[in-house]
Amino acid sequence: MAIVQLPSPALFAAGIEKRWDEVDPFTQAFVAPNAFVSGVPWRYQLDDTVQITVNETGPRVRRRDCSDTDFDCNFWLGDAILVAADPSPDSDVLLAPIRLKFSTGVRAVGAWVGVCPRDPFDAPFFDQPLFAAMWIALASDPNSWQMVVNADGRTGHVCACATPLSAPFVGARATGGDRIVEVRFDASLLGNRRYDKLALSELTVER
């Protein structure tokens, strides 16, 4: 079994976009901004067969809005995002701030990763190199982290809709009939400089 990196959402076949402000696409039950969404089994419905649990363990995760008045990072304005405090400046699967588990394995997963500073007026923090990581557990060996997928990008401010994003995108597809059952996301700055929180964009999934 192997994993193939997908460096862009455009490489997903019939990708499903999972919005974090909707519990599921059928009832469209709404998740309010700043609500905690972690630690609740199968909190989100991807479709009629796959549910997602956000951080069964690890830091508490909130649903936030990407904007210059809520969470300022270089995703698109108005995006519903997941946000968690980062416990360590290092990228470490055991300390990863955001962790997603799938009730039924999926073929491919990907998302944009962003960070914010402790001080929103810390101008030198923005437009700095940012290194994102996604660890993957496969259905064939769910207790092992098979591989880490890395991507480079930049830190930045909220972007106008449909403009190119400078944040790193991490994505991967399982091959050989295997499925992805869990992913974990983290990021690091040059010199392991500290940042305050990690953000995850809407998820792209290939069933």
Residues 27-47: pLDDT tens digits?
778 899 999 999 988 889 998
**pLDDT per residue as tens digits for the range 77-124:** 999 999 999 888 778 898 999 999 999 999 999 999 999 988 877 878
**Does 128 score more than 80 pLDDT?**
yes
Q: What is the pTM of this model?
A: 0.94
DSSP string for residues in 77-141: TT-EEEEEE-S-SS--GGG-SEEEEEEEEESEEEEEEEEE-SSTT-GGGTT-EEEEEEEEEETTB
**Does 143 score more than 70 pLDDT?**
yes
What is the Cα–Cα distance from 70 to 138, expressed in whole angstroms?
Answer: 35
pLDDT for the residue 1 = 59
What are the chain's domains? 3-206 (2.60.120)
**pLDDT per residue as tens digits for the range 11-20:** 999 899 999 9
Q: Percent of the chain having pLDDT more than 70?
A: 99
C-alpha dihedral sign at 88, 23, 158, 72:
negative
